[in-house]
Structure 1
Amino acid sequence: MTSQEIKALTGQYIMNTYGRFPVAIDHGQGATLYDPEGNAYIDFTSGIGVSDLGYGCQPWVDAIAKQAGKIGHTSNLFYTEPPARLAEILCKRTGMSSVFFANGGGEANEGMIKLARKYSFDKYGRGRAAIVTLNNSFHGRTITTLTATGQDVFHNYFFPFTEGFRYADANDLASLEAAAGDDVCAVMMELVQGEGGVLPLDRDYVKAVARLCAEKDWLLLVDEVQTGVGRTGSLFAFQQYGILPDVASFAKGIAGGLPMSGILANEKCRDVLGPGTHATTFGANPVCAAAGLVVQETLTDAFLEDVRAKGTYLRNQIEALDLPCFGATRGMGLMIGIQVKDGWTNKEIASKLIENGLLVLTAGPSMRLLPPLVISQEEMDQGLEILKKTLS
């Protein structure tokens, strides 16, 4: 099909819930995507942080095909090898104790919220279920994770919301303490606020929150849906903050492009969710887990060091371009935010860049770059050249 035919068919039969850019994607290789007509696009998005191994990764393709030839799905009433192996690797690499596998980020965060409330109910009984999250956060699009999200822009239309959430300002311990009370069971945060504009939290603040949670027996819940699986230059961002959360969620890049997510629990929380308290039909899918094993094999310490170096290179080069619409950059690893100066809008900039062959993202009022972790030096430089020619 041509690009126009794909767009027409989509418009006729798929709900119009996305502000799509006028590009149809057919295939890719490395960090370069192609439309049906063969036009190339350097990808600084990786499917919003999902395709961390880029496109056409042969070991990933082979692992999926091999597992699909054995069995594509069976229920969690039985055992399969790939998720067991993947869980072992994740626990050993993080210092966590157990895993629950799910399908998407919102579902993972729902599971994290349920675990926190059950932990408190088991230990303290009813009346201690409130969760403090941060203003400018984003935790998902289910009713409950929308409530957890600290941005009013996402809260319209869908009332009433799940009760039991309060909001505090990021990097302000006094604000968090003021929002808390005797009914709190957990604090939930992103270490880099992704949808809010790629805003890393202050390390001393995060450590202070971790100490406060330990003192109060509140669970520390870290949303690593976007920051996890190598995106920030470590397997999980919490490893760069010097903390071990009680529970951490993950999704996006965990299976390199297939739908998979989950939560990691520490020793204290490993057995909170027992049989019958939480479930999902497609979680721990063996094909997705087989893909996830290839991701873990790829994300060696040397590979993650290279991710950090690539992120530093891109940020330095973008700032050196001194483009009239861009201010300072920020972020960790290959999770990069760029300030948009007054007089410009990020959507206007994104449209111009995509028209010229560079796929980018927006976040809050800022630009957001999430290239595949395997992006080559040549592809980075091609993307930077498009930035320069389009926006100078």
Structure 2
Amino acid sequence: MSNWNERNKEVIMNTYGKLPLVIDRGEGAELIDENGKRYLDFITGLAVNIVGHSHPEIVQTLRDQGEKFLHISNLYVNKPAVELAERLLAVTFPGKVFYTNSGAEATEAVIKLVHKWTKQQETGQDGIVVLKKSFHGRTLGALKLTRQPGVYQDFPVSEFPVYDVEPHDIKALEAVLKEKKPAALLMEPVLGSGGVVPLESNYLEQAAKLCQQYGVLFCMDEIQTGIGRTGKLFAYQHTSVKPDVVLFAKGIGGGLPLGGIIVKAEHGELFKPGDHGTTFAPSPLSAALGNTVLKLLIDDGVLEAGRRASEKLQTELQSLQNEFAEHIESIRGLGMMIGIVMKFDASKVKEIQQTLLERGMLVDVTQQTIIRLLPPLIVSDEQIEYFLQLFRDVLQEVSE
């Protein structure tokens, strides 16, 4: 065993509770540690590696674009970025794209965009409505929109109004829109860090209508749910809603940092030169990978194959919940974004996670007692069965 864990502690600031793994490489739905042990990866870099690790077409795109150029700045036209924006608009709605390096930066861009919109409207609207337990990022602007005390703590916050309401409480949402006159509503269609809570279609559609009624921008945070994670390219597409703004990141860059916002055509000119910017986004390499990711998902059938695999996984998990009803409270989620709500306390759930890790299975834990699964869309039926058997074995041991 090398001393990489100790070296990490010596030089890296302790902001993440790392699992005791030193990864050497990845192949498909698996990660392989420095000793050659294989792990089935149902975390996928926190919903990033949507087509798995080291996909041959991803690797080829890295080589092809790397031989051309890696960075040119936004002073020149970036062909991969233009092509990717065209692809994103073709599968969402007519409008324009602003690129960022991350999901948090996409949230920051939305805050600025909303501010520019309020100045243009001259209606006196101000502030953003979010859902309780939502997560929109860790930078200071995004932090104010994140409704998790363990995340926002007592850091300084930007001075703009934020109102939060309970998910699915449409009356509370309408009351805020009517009384506080906010400029925008920002919500995740599935609360990820907040416990893998899918918002009901009817609620989303009612929220969209209220935004239209009260003249409020309807913004969908698809940073975790987007790029095929839920069985559609974006989760809002399971409904009839038409957002004004869609935030994206995570899976789009094929494993490299990339994010952004898609803005409806009528808002596409809100940003003028000098209003916002970034040195690195969009990275030509990340944008080229984004084009490959969308090709794989849409043209090569990975999205449809992943949807079928997620249906199998969810169906089998429901059966497992019935079998172990004394341990599993519920199974919830959408597509390859699944929460297993356990009846154990936090320490026991972490113990289950650790046992699975020791047996070659990587899962996440959120909200202390919810096992979160974020498998890649390329996971095979055999790998799903492998996970289910491991999980069943661990639950059976707990029952004894």
TM-score range, shorter chain: over 0.9
Give the match's secondary structure for 2:186: strand
Could you tell me which of 178, 183, 189 is aligned with 2:175? 178
Give the match's secondary structure for 2:67: helix
Q: Which residue of 2 aligns with 1:319?
A: 318
Could you tell me which of 93, 96, 113 is aligned with 1:95? 93
Q: Which residue of 1 aligns with 2:362?
A: 359
| Correspondence 1:14-163 to 2 at 5 A | 14-124=12-122, 127-163=124-160
Q: CA deviation at 1:295?
A: 0.2
Q: Which residue of 2 aligns with 1:377?
A: 381
Q: 1:348 and 1:157 mapped to 2: Cα distance? A: 30
Q: Which residue of 1 aligns with 2:192?
A: 194
Q: Taking structure 1 as reference, are residues 316 and 279 closer, same or farther at Cα in structure 2, changes over 3 Å only?
A: same
Q: Taking structure 1 as reference, are residues 160 and 108 closer, same or farther at Cα in structure 2, changes over 3 Å only?
A: closer
Q: Which residue of 1 aligns with 2:340?
A: 338
Could you tell me which of 349, 352, 358 is aligned with 2:352? 349
Matched, 1:368 2:367: no
CA displacement 1:108-164 (0-9 Å, x = unmatched): 111112111211111216x42211101111100011211101222322131345431
CA displacement 1:223-260 (0-9 Å, x = unmatched): 00000000000100111121110001000000110100
Q: Given the two structures, how large is their TM-score scaled by the length of structure 1?
A: 0.95
CA displacement 1:270-322 (0-9 Å, x = unmatched): 11112111111111110001111110001127432322221121122123232
Q: Which residue of 2 aligns with 1:205?
A: 203
Give the match's secondary structure for 2:89: helix
Q: Which residue of 1 aligns with 2:215?
A: 217
Q: Taking structure 1 as reference, are residues 194 and 96 closer, same or farther at Cα in structure 2, changes over 3 Å only?
A: farther
Q: 2:253 and 2:312 mapped to 1: Cα distance? A: 26
Q: CA deviation at 1:177?
A: 2.2
Q: Which residue of 1 aligns with 2:3?
A: 5
Q: Bigger CA drift: 159-168 or 204-213?
A: 159-168
Q: 2:5 and 2:377 mapped to 1: Cα distance? A: 29
Contact 1:256 1:292 in 2 (8 A): yes
Q: Given the two structures, how large is their TM-score scaled by the length of structure 2?
A: 0.94
How many residues in Structure 1 have an aligned counterpart in Structure 2?
A: 389
Q: Write the letter of the residue equivalent to 2:327.
A: C
Unaligned 5+ residue runs, structure 1? none
Contact 1:147 1:162 in 2 (8 A): no
Q: Bigger CA drift: 334-343 or 10-19?
A: 334-343
Contact 2:80 2:284 in 1 (8 A): yes
CA displacement 1:306-352 (0-9 Å, x = unmatched): 22221121122123232353232111110111111144643232122
Q: Write the letter of the residue equivalent to 2:354.
A: S
Q: 2:250 and 2:210 mapped to 1: Cα distance? A: 30
Q: Write the letter of the residue equivalent to 1:309.
A: R
Q: Which residue of 1 aligns with 2:395?
A: 391
Q: Bigger CA drift: 302-311 or 97-106?
A: 302-311
| Correspondence 1:227-306 to 2 at 5 A | 227-300=225-298, 302-306=301-305
Q: 2:62 and 2:344 mapped to 1: Cα distance? A: 46
Contact 2:306 2:379 in 1 (8 A): no
Q: 2:55 and 2:162 mapped to 1: Cα distance? A: 42
Give the match's secondary structure for 2:91: helix
Q: Alignment RMSD, CA only?
A: 1.6
Q: Taking structure 1 as reference, are residues 128 and 334 closer, same or farther at Cα in structure 2, changes over 3 Å only?
A: same
Q: 1:75 and 1:295 mapped to 2: Cα distance? A: 23
Unaligned 5+ residue runs, structure 2? none
Q: 2:94 and 2:383 mapped to 1: Cα distance? A: 36
Q: Which residue of 2 aligns with 1:168?
A: 165
Give the match's secondary structure for 1:184: coil
Q: Write the letter of the residue equivalent to 1:48.
A: L
Q: 1:161 and 1:284 mapped to 2: Cα distance? A: 26
Q: Write the letter of the residue equivalent to 1:171.
A: H
Percent identity of equivalent pairs: 38
Q: Write the letter of the residue equivalent to 2:167.
A: A
Give the match's secondary structure for 2:65: helix
Contact 1:31 1:372 in 2 (8 A): yes
Q: Write the letter of the residue equivalent to 1:330.
A: R
Q: Taking structure 1 as reference, are residues 218 and 58 closer, same or farther at Cα in structure 2, changes over 3 Å only?
A: same
Q: Write the letter of the residue equivalent to 2:20.
A: P
Give the match's secondary structure for 1:67: helix
Q: Write the letter of the residue equivalent to 1:361.
A: D
Q: 2:57 and 2:242 mapped to 1: Cα distance? A: 32
Give the match's secondary structure for 1:300: helix
Q: 1:67 and 1:305 mapped to 2: Cα distance? A: 27
